[in-house]
Amino acid sequence: MHKPVFLYTVYPVGRLVGWMMCILLMMGSFGCQKAPGTARDQLIYISEEKEIALGLSAFREVLKSARLSRDPEVTLMVNRIGQRIAKAANKPEYVWEFAVIQDDEQINAFALPGGKVAVFTGILKYTKTEAGLATVMAHEVAHALQRHGAERYSRGILEQIGQIGALAGAAAGGVDPGLAIGAMSAYGVGVSLPNSREQETEADYIGLQLMAKAGYDPREAVPFWERMSGCPRKLIGKYCFRSQSSIPEFLSTHPSDVSRINQIEAWLPQALKWYHPESSHSGTSPSMTSSLSTFSS
């Protein structure tokens, strides 16, 4: 009788992938939880207390070197919008802080764990209105609420362990180290980047609800993203392009412009249920309870 031949005895890469999967699955069995508001599976190995402390430390370092805006009107507007969104977020563990960094070339905003948010002045030419700015800020607040920073931190740990294990396994099994590195690169494209896109989509989804709860019209998110793309949605990718439009969505950490706008429009009916423009939001907003099925639609 012939002895059965398994894949890894014929193809070294099969054995290598097996080693990698064992390591990653063992690590993945710890730290699993559900993302608030979407029930998406998350892998987080860091406590929220440590995450908040790291966010505060990083924010202080950013503010030391950043040039803060001296425009009182812009600063007041950002803080006013931020506090309304923070109230809608209903996350009392966070001490929310909002900063405006003077850099007209930087079209961006960011959030750090624990409720630290910064807006660069360069993005204001695209936000145009308070609702447009609320779109950006609610998106960033959503990143903090969903603990995306902790998730990326944890994924980095997992990937480093996977790389070490793959290289060690390659050395022990006589596999070319270049093959091990290539396998880990494939893992990066297959797992890391899609998860980053998923985080961006999740931030869009939660952010849309937050801005609505804070009293900002969620329908204004669509024209904002159209302005960011440089043209109306129907023309994106056909007659006008932005500088990064040549990067395939498969290799991008952000959804494509068309995908993002289509998803936002699909979520608008639900978000509009939270929208009460006359509301002062003096009370506390309920926590996010949206279902995964709605998020995934």
- Judged by DSSP in three states, 68 sits in strand
140: annotated active-site residue? yes
- Judged by DSSP in three states, 281 sits in coil
The distance between the two most distant Cα atoms of the chain, rounded to a whole number of Å, is: 84
Q: Is 164 exposed, middle or buried (0-12, 13-18, 19+ CB in 10 A)?
A: exposed
Q: What are phi and psi of 111, to 5 degrees?
A: -125, 140
**Rounded to an integer, what distance in angstroms lies between the CA atom of residue 185 and that of residue 3?**
34
Q: What element of type H or E holds 110?
A: strand 109-112
Contact yes or no for 221/264 (Cβ under 8 A): yes
Q: Which of 51, 97, 130, 140 is catalytic?
A: 140
Q: Which amino acid is at 29?
A: S
**Rounded to an integer, what distance in angstroms lies between the CA atom of residue 61 and that of residue 25?**
36
Catalytic residues: 140
